[in-house]
Structure 1
Amino acid sequence: MSKSARPNPAERLCVAPASTGARAGAALAEDVARPLLETAAAAGIRRVTSRPAGDVERALGQAWPFPSPFRVDARTAPLAEGLDRVEARARRSLERMGLPRGETLLVSRAADLAGAEGRALWDRLEKLKAQGLYRRIGLCAGPEDDPELLGRRFAADVVRLPCNLLDQRALRSGALEALAVAGIEVQVSAVFAHGRLFSGGDAAVGQTPGLSRTRRRLAEARLDPMQAALGFGLSLPGAPVLVVSCASAAELRAMLAAVHASGRGPGPDWAEFALEPAAAGTLTDLATADAA
C-alpha cells in the first residue's frame, strides 16, 4: 500500500471544543473555537461534539468554517428538567449552532433511560430523528450501566462510553467489541482519563491506588502520556471514534502529532498500564471534567 493510501488516523477523532474556562463552566470564546475548527478541518477530522451546558454551542455556531465539513453530535439536557424541555433543548441546540440538522443526539445520562420515563424520553429522540433533525440517536453510559444491554434494548445507533489507558473496564468486559458486532457505533470518551495521566492530575494520585505506579511505568517505557493515551484508543477493537476535548488549536496540533506518531511500529502491552477495576472506578468519582 502506498503512503498516500494509508488511512488517516485523525479521521477517528471527534473534537469536543472547550476552552480552559469552559471546562469550569465559563464561555467558549469564538477566537478559540474558530482556529480550533480550522485546524481540525485541515487535519481531516470530520466529527465535532457539543454539550448543552455553557456557551459552547453558540461559539461553534459563530465559528464554523465555510463550507463546513463537520458532522455534529449533541447531547440532551437532563431528564429532571422534563420531557418537553429535553425536546425543546435538542431543537435549540441546532439553532444555537446554526445547523439545519445534526448527526447524532445522545442521551447524556444512562440513568435517564433506566427510570420510569426512559421509554418516553427515547420516543422523543425517535421523533426528532423521524423529523430529520438528527440522523442518528444514541446514549452515553458508563461500564457500570451495562452499555451493551442498553444499546440493544433501545436499538441505539451510537453508544458513547469511557475507556482509557487507566480505566480499561469497557475493554475487559467485552462491551466495546459486543457493541461493534451489534452494528452500534462506539464512541470512546474520557480518552485522557480526565487529565489523570498528566501532571495536572497530581491531586488525585494519593486518592487513586496504582496511579503513581502507572505513571512510573509510562516514564520507564519512555512513553509520552498523550501518545500513550491516543495509541491505546486507536488500538481498541471495533475502531471506535475517540472523543477528545481540546482547549485550543495548539492543543489539537499536539494531539494530531501524537496520533500520527502512535501508528509507527507495534504498541506496548497496554493492559499492564491499567488500574484495577475498583481503582479505575474512582476516576469517575474524582473527575470534575466534562464526560468528553
Structure 2
Amino acid sequence: MIPNRAPIPVDKLALAVVHAPDRAIPAPAGAREESLRFLLQTAADSGVTRVATRPDGDGERWLGQSWPFPSPFQVSVRTVPVSDGVDRVEARARRSLERLGLPRGDALLVSSASDLAGTEGRALWDKLLALKDRGLYRRIGFCASVEDGPALLARRFQPDVVQLKCNLLDQRAQRTGVLSELAALDVTVHASSIFADGLLFMNSEALPVEMHRHGPTLSRIRRRLAEARVDPMQATLAYALGLPEVTAVVASVASAAELRAVVAAAHAPTPALDWASMQLEPATATAAGPNPRGLGRISSAA
C-alpha cells in the first residue's frame, strides 16, 4: 500500500497550450509536432495531470496527435458559441473528443457564461447534461468572470465546475466572496487568466493604451516584488495556487521551456507578501457593478 502523500503546488496546475503564432515558435509541421510532444511529455514528467483546450483552429487535432502513451491527462473541452445553435454545440463537443483522440473528456465547459444567461441557456445546458449522462464527459460547467454573476448561475444550473477569471492584479473573485459562494455550492473552481495578460512582465512603454493609467501602480507592484526578491511569475502563481477554494490553476504555455519555468515557480516557497496591496483596484471599488476600466483586459487571457 502506497501512503498518501501531501499535496504539492504542481498538483493544482492545469496546462493550456498556446498555438498562437505570436507565442509559439514558427517551425515546420514536423518540428512543431515534435515540440508539442516534448511539451506534453515534460508536463507528464513534471506531474501536471490536467490540460485545458479550446475548439479553435487545429489545436485539438495537434494535441490528439501528440499525447504521451499512456496519457496521464484529464482534459477539459470548451463549447463553440451557442449562436451557432445548440445542436451545433453538441455536435462540436463530440467532434472535439474525436479530434483529441479521446473516448471521453473530463469536463465540458460552456465557453461564455452569457450563453447560459441567454434565451437558449436551458436548452444548451440540457445538451451538456445529455452528453454527461452518456458518459462522454465526466463533468460539465461553464467559464465566467466576476461580471457574469457566476454564483447566481451556479445556483440555477448546478454545474460541477466553474472556470473563473482570477489573478493577482484582479482579485475580485476572492475579495467579493465569489469563490466562497461557489465553494459553498460544492462547485469545483478552476482559476484562469492567472498571468493577467502578461501585464506584470511588461515595462510601462509596452502597456496597451487602455492600461496606461495603471502604469504607475504596475511599476509600484513590480518594485515591491523586486524588493522582496520575488519574481513576477512566482508571485502570480503563488497567489492563485494559494486560494483554498481553487482546485486547478490554468497556466498558458507555448513551449516546454515556458512550462519548466512555470513548474519551477510553482515549486518555489510561497512568498510573504501583502496580496491585497498587489491588485489594481481595491475590493471596495469592485464589489459590484460594471467592470472598472482596464480590468477587462487583465481577465482576457485563458
Question: Aligned partners of 1:141, 1:98: CA distance in 2, in Å?
Answer: 27
Q: Aligned residues: percent identity?
A: 56
Given the superposition, is the C-alpha separation of residues 267 and 19 from structure 1 closer, same or farther in structure 2, using an over 3 Å criterion?
A: farther
Deviation at 1:30, TM superposition (A): 1.9
Query: Are the equivalent residues in 1 in contact too, given 2:192–2:249 (CA < 8 A)?
Result: yes
Give yes or no for the alignment of 1:124 onto 2:138.
no
Deviation readout 1:72-120 (Å, 9 max, x if unpaired): 0000001111111111110110000000000000000011111110100
Give yes or no for the alignment of 1:93 onto 2:96.
yes
- Higher mean Cα deviation, 209-218 or 116-125? 209-218
Aligned position for 2:250:
243
Given the superposition, is the C-alpha separation of residues 95 and 273 from structure 1 closer, same or farther in structure 2, using an over 3 Å criterion?
A: same
Aligned position for 2:63:
60
Question: Aligned partners of 1:253, 1:229: CA distance in 2, in Å?
Answer: 16
Deviation readout 1:37-92 (Å, 9 max, x if unpaired): 10111111110010001211011000000001111000000111111111111011
Deviation at 1:258, TM superposition (A): 0.5
Deviation readout 1:211-238 (Å, 9 max, x if unpaired): 2332232223222000000011111122
Aligned pairs for 1:3-14 (under 5 A) are 5-14=5-14
Aligned position for 2:232:
225
Give yes or no for the alignment of 1:103 onto 2:106.
yes
Aligned position for 1:171:
174
Query: Are the equivalent residues in 2 in contact too, given 1:13–1:243 (CA < 8 A)?
Result: yes
Given the superposition, is the C-alpha separation of residues 98 and 132 from structure 1 closer, same or farther in structure 2, using an over 3 Å criterion?
A: same
Deviation at 1:282, TM superposition (A): 4.0
Aligned position for 2:33:
30
Aligned position for 2:141:
138
Relative to the length of structure 1, the TM-score reads 0.90
Give yes or no for the alignment of 1:252 onto 2:255.
no
Query: Are the equivalent residues in 1 in contact too, given 2:19–2:59 (CA < 8 A)?
Result: no
Q: Aligned residue pairs: how many?
A: 285
Deviation at 1:200, TM superposition (A): 6.8
The one of 203, 209, 218 equivalent to 2:207 is 203
Question: Aligned partners of 2:292, 2:258: CA distance in 1, in Å?
Answer: 27
1:67 maps to a residue whose letter is P
2:207 maps to a residue whose letter is A
Question: Aligned partners of 1:269, 1:248: CA distance in 2, in Å?
Answer: 31
Question: Aligned partners of 2:239, 2:137: CA distance in 1, in Å?
Answer: 30
- Higher mean Cα deviation, 238-247 or 166-175? 238-247
Deviation at 1:9, TM superposition (A): 1.3
Question: Aligned partners of 2:17, 2:34: CA distance in 1, in Å?
Answer: 12
Give yes or no for the alignment of 1:271 onto 2:282.
no
Aligned position for 2:197:
194
Query: Are the equivalent residues in 2 in contact too, given 1:74–1:106 (CA < 8 A)?
Result: yes
Q: Structure 1: 5+ residue runs without aligned partners?
A: none
Relative to the length of structure 2, the TM-score reads 0.87
Aligned pairs for 1:39-54 (under 5 A) are 39-54=42-57
